[in-house]
Amino acid sequence: MKMPEFSLIKWQRQFGTEEACAEALTRVRWPDGFICPVCAGKAYSYITSRQIYQCSHCQHQTSVTSGTIFHSTNLPLVKWFWAIYLSASDKGGISALRLSKQIATTWLLLTVSCKDPYGYGAQRQHLST
């Protein structure tokens, strides 16, 4: 079965804003809804002005990019998504199936590569937010 392809134009329509990219990352990071990285609580408040999730149980604040290379580089998500597209595409197009796998794989690799080898990341993150 031939899968539909994403052109760069279609990609830009779908992921052309920071909000659209953040929504896509949210679906990958928390496919079943927000989960607090500190207490695993699922209830939260969303602080729109700062694009921050605040756990209703422990008050921990986090963003969809916290603990990932997306956060530490301060590069706009739109540019990260261009890089994902360009790294995943060949001959001008990419299947929707391959693209979804590429985003998930890229996400996992970037998240794993940013993990603190000593396990202090969650504490530092908590203190810095």
What is the DSSP code (8-state) at residue 38?
T
State phi, psi for 52 to the nearest 5 degrees. Answer: -120, 140
Q: Identify the residue among 13, 17, 27, 39 touching Zn ion (CB under 5 A).
A: 39
Binding of Zn ion by 43 (CB under 5 A): no
Site string for Zn ion, 83-102 (x = CB under 5 A): --------------------
Strand-pair partners of 61: 54
Supply the minimum distance, in Å, between the C-beta of residue 57 and Zn ion: 5
Binding range to Zn ion, per CB under 5 A, among 47-55, 65-73, 95-103, 119-127: 47-55
Q: Which helix (H) or strand (E) holds 95?
A: strand 94-95
Spatial distance between the Cα atoms of 67 and 80, rounded to a whole number of angstroms: 15
Binding site for Zn ion (CB under 5 A): 36, 38-39, 41, 55, 57-58, 60
